[in-house]
Amino acid sequence: MAQLTTASEVITKAFTNLNTDPTLVKDSYIETAQIRHIKPILANGVVKLSDSLYQEIVDQNNTATLTADSLILLDDYIKPALAFFVLFEVLPHLHVNTTSAGLQLPSSDFSSTASDAQRALIRKDAIDKGNSLVDKMTEFIEDESNEGKYPKYYASRNVSNTTTMNGGLVISAKKFVRIDDDSTGKNVI
């Protein structure tokens, strides 16, 4: 799978320490964050993945053929949100090193390891920021001024538009059906 961001971009956009070693942000964490947090918004409910805005952006990014509209979406909305989702995925692994001797806590003469509560707070902050930026992204895509620019995006199938969550629990799930209004060519709910 092609990634929509790089480790260096993630560190620049989401980490507080810009000197973080990019090798700590593994490709698998970027891919996991992309699948868990971006794909459900941009590809939810499509029968074939190739029919989704998500796959369109991935394909254009892979082939360096991003349209102007896709480039704006990727650079200004997807990458910032994805950076915080990657941080969320990486944080548990930054605290514990997997070695041949087992799991080890990193140590330094000039610092101490964060507590479980401190790590949980930073993870929650990262996921909250990522979700806020996804909300900003969906508002951008669904804005009237962008009508027709992202035809493979279906607002009625966007998981963030069809569920209500509170404290990580799904409170309600609304079911919407996409209907094509042939007289206007617009997607309506």
What CA–CA distance (Å, rounded) separates 24 from 91?
10
Higher-pLDDT residue of 88 and 175 is 88
Q: What is the mean pLDDT of the chain?
A: 81
**Full-model pTM:** 0.78
Instruction: Provide mean pLDDT across the span 150-159.
Output: 77
Q: Render pLDDT for 42-94 as a digit per residue (tens, 0 to 9).
A: 987 677 788 889 999 999 999 999 999 999 999 999 999 999 999 999 988 77
Asked whether residue 95 carries a pLDDT value surpassing 80, the answer given is no
Neighbours of 110 (CB within 10 A): 4
Give the rounded percent of residues in the chain with a pLDDT score beyond 90: 50
Could you give the CA distance from residue 30 to residue 90 in angstroms, rounded to a whole number? 9
User: Rounded to 5 degrees, what are φ and ψ at 100?
Assistant: -65, -15
pLDDT band at 181 (very low <50, low <70, confident <90, very high): very low
Is residue 108's pLDDT more than 80?
Answer: no
Q: Is the pLDDT of residue 158 over 80?
A: no
Which is it for the CA torsion 35, 54, 71, 132, positive or negative?
Answer: negative
Phi, psi of 58, rounded to the nearest 5 degrees: -60, -50
pLDDT above 50 (res 189): no
Choose the weakest-confidence range: 64-68, 93-97, 176-180.
Answer: 176-180
Measured N-to-C along each axis, helices 79-95 and 7-14 cross at an angle, to the nearest 10 degrees, of: 90
Give residue-wise pLDDT tens across range 110-136. Answer: 666 777 788 888 899 999 999 999 999
Kindly state the greatest CA–CA separation across the chain: 70
| Highest-scoring range by mean pLDDT, 13-22, 23-32, 76-85, 150-159 | 76-85
